[in-house]
Amino acid sequence: MSFWGLAQLGVSTVIFLLAAMAAKQWGLAPSLAKILLTLALYSAGNLIMLRLIREFGMSVSFSLSAVIQLVSVNVVALAFFGERLNALQATGVVLAIAAVALITLGPYMQRL
C-alpha cells in the first residue's frame, strides 16, 4: 500500500471515528442536527473508501478499515464514554482482530 493510500485510510478512519462519536451523542440526546452530522460523516468516510477500493481492491481496503475502526471505536467507547466489555465480548473483539489480520495477510503469507 502506498503512502497516499495509507493517508486516505487514516483520514477515513478519523472520519468514521467522528461519525461513531456523533452517533453515540445522538443516541444519548437525539436531535436532527446530530443525525444529519452523523450521516454526513459516514457518507464522507464511504466516499473515501470508494477511492481505496478502486486503488487497492475491496478485500484489502475493507479488511484494513474494519480492523482499524474496530480498535479505534472500542478505545473511544471505553476511554471516553465509560463503556465496558465483559470477558466474552473482549474475547470476541480480539478474535475479530485476529480474523481480519488473517484475511488481510493471508494472500501475502501464501507467497512466502
Cα of 105 vs its chain's centroid, Å: 18
The answer to whether 78 and 85 are in contact (CB under 8 A) is yes
Residue among 108, 15, 106 at smallest CA distance from 68: 15
Q: What is the per-residue pLDDT across 8-23, written as a single tens digit (0 to 9) for each?
A: 999 999 999 999 999 9
Q: Which residues contact 56 (CB under 8 A, 6 or more apart)?
A: 1, 5
DSSP secondary structure string for all residues of 24-83: HHHHHS--HHHHHHHHHHHHHHHHHHHHHHHHH-HHHHHHHHHHHHHHHHHHHHHHTS--
Q: What is the pLDDT of residue 54?
A: 93
The answer to whether 48 and 8 are in contact (CB under 8 A) is yes
Q: What is the per-residue pLDDT across 14-68, written as a single tens digit (0 to 9) for each?
A: 999 999 999 999 999 999 999 999 999 999 999 999 999 998 889 888 888 888 8
Question: Is the pTM of the predicted complex or chain greater than 0.95?
Answer: no
